[in-house]
Structure 1
Amino acid sequence: MTVDPLVLIAEVDRATERLLRTAGTLDRSTLAEPSRLPGWSRGHVLTHLARSADALVNLLTGARTGQHVPAYASVAARDADIAAGADRPLDAHLDDLRGGAKRFAEACAAMPPEAWAAVVRSHRGDRVAAVLVWTRLRELEVHHVDLGAGYDPVDWPEGFAQRLLNEAAGDLATREDVPALTLRPTDAGRTLTIGPAGAGPTVAGPVHLLAGWLIGRSTGTGLTVTPNGPLPTPPDWI
């Protein structure tokens, strides 16, 4: 999958439409049911996706203007906004998601080419603004799964699943709390190593299953472990 933010914007639009179709099947009762994220209902997940779009708009605005614009006023304010919006009716959630998507698209369109290279500060550290479009795509696709409403890692586009697997494996490889692993996609891509080569088991399977398992969005059913043994439990990623 390309890293060009202007190309990825089209992927964000398609992911948004998929999310809206799923969200449109919910009602007041199912919105209040637990999502796959502990302590959050489906309404919490949808509200988070709307507010995170605005947070990325803030970062893009900072990149464009050269000023420091934080994603959120504070962690407490972020959490309060999500809690306050969780119990809204479906139409309010859908309008909020569409509004956030529109503001994000407009913020991207307003970026001059040189602003994409500006460094912004997020909760994951400093990064160039160009990665924020990928960040939005990842938020949409992963949290769509978190709704627990019929969209699963098997539904991820192939290019997205491949990039997600590479990103997660690369990040985990820099941490000391992650056991050594070799990840072997059976359908695409290259073998990925976490920790010293050959020091841990090899986990093999389709890219979407590996990616979903590695970031805690699937149980790992369908993956194989060599030498034969239990499937390792990956640590929390983000």
Structure 2
Amino acid sequence: MTTPAYDTEVLQAATERLLDAVREGSPAVAEPSLLPGWTRGHVLTHLARNADALVNVLHGRPMYENAQARDADIEAGAARPLSEQYEDVRTTAAGLAEVMAGLTDAQWRETVALRNGVTDTADSIPFRRLVEVELHHVDLAVDYTLDELPGGFTDRAVGYLARRFSGRSDVPALELRAEDGRSWTTGALPASDGERLVVVGGPGALVGWLAGRSTGSGLTASAPLPTLPAL
């Protein structure tokens, strides 16, 4: 069982890995990232604004003013020099860490409002942020790949991503099976015959597909894999 203190420690280490990669690799921010339509500058700006947004959540404010404002902020910051991007990600991550460090046990258990009507408890925030940091580190294309995601992260991320798709009518009924025997169900409710599309693979391969970062490399399935909607 994890705790907010543990999750914030893991998040800090992941954030430092990303910042070190940006500082040492000096990636060209105008070059494409692995996300269609986004440069590396878009990814870095999104990470900074996401940290600000999670501070808003923990203070009981709307995560973003609205979807249009969120997108406009990312677009406006995407072309900034790398040095500005780096400092923005670093300082906003530190600001989020400071707010989380000040939460009491009772505050961690409170319900918070996220985007699109989603609610959760505050203690989910560190892992939600970890998902952003780890996946967008891969998206930056700075010598960090899906295969290098920590096992402790991918083990939990399969369940997290499966919950994100649970009950959605635009996702077929799925049963995800890890090679160690664990399984998760997600997507729409199965038809009357109860059958689900069975997808089998390691947690890293499952995370890559569920997160839209792969087309299913390393997975086997009982039928052709569908294209999942964006998270």
Compared CA separation, residues 168 and 14, structure 1 to 2 (3 A): same
Superposed CA RMSD? 2.0
Q: Does 1:212 align with 2:204?
A: no
Compared CA separation, residues 156 and 198, structure 1 to 2 (3 A): farther
Paired amino acid for 2:212: G
Deviation string, structure 1 residues 158-189 (Cα, Å, up to 9, x no partner): 12111111122233231122123322211x46
Q: Equivalents in 2 of 1:16, 1:77: separation in Å?
A: 25
Post-superposition shift, 1:198? 6.3
Give the match for residue 236 of structure 1: 229
Give the match for residue 97 of structure 1: 89
Compared CA separation, residues 80 and 193, structure 1 to 2 (3 A): closer
Q: Equivalents in 1 of 2:185, 2:62: separation in Å?
A: 35
Return the TM-score normalized by structure 2. 0.89
Paired amino acid for 2:219: L
Post-superposition shift, 1:38? 2.1
Q: Equivalents in 2 of 1:206, 1:236: separation in Å?
A: 21
Equivalence map 1:55-74=2 (5 Å): 55-62=53-60, 69-74=61-66
- Of all paired residues, the percent bearing the same amino acid is 45
Equivalence map 1:31-180=2 (5 Å): 31-62=29-60, 69-124=61-116, 125-180=118-173
Q: Equivalents in 2 of 1:5, 1:202: separation in Å?
A: 33
Compared CA separation, residues 24 and 219, structure 1 to 2 (3 A): farther
Question: Match for 1:199 among 186, 195, 201?
Answer: 195
SS at match of 2:59: helix
Deviation string, structure 1 residues 175-224 (Cα, Å, up to 9, x no partner): 122123322211x4612233448624422221100111122111222222
Deviation string, structure 1 residues 7-38 (Cα, Å, up to 9, x no partner): 1000110110111122224547x211111222
Unaligned runs of at least 5 residues, structure 1: 63-68
Give the match for residue 221 of structure 1: 217
Give the match for residue 6 of structure 2: 7
Q: Equivalents in 2 of 1:31, 1:215: separation in Å?
A: 23
Return the TM-score normalized by structure 1. 0.86
Unaligned runs of at least 5 residues, structure 2: none
Paired amino acid for 1:128: T
SS at match of 2:9: helix
Count of residue correspondences: 226
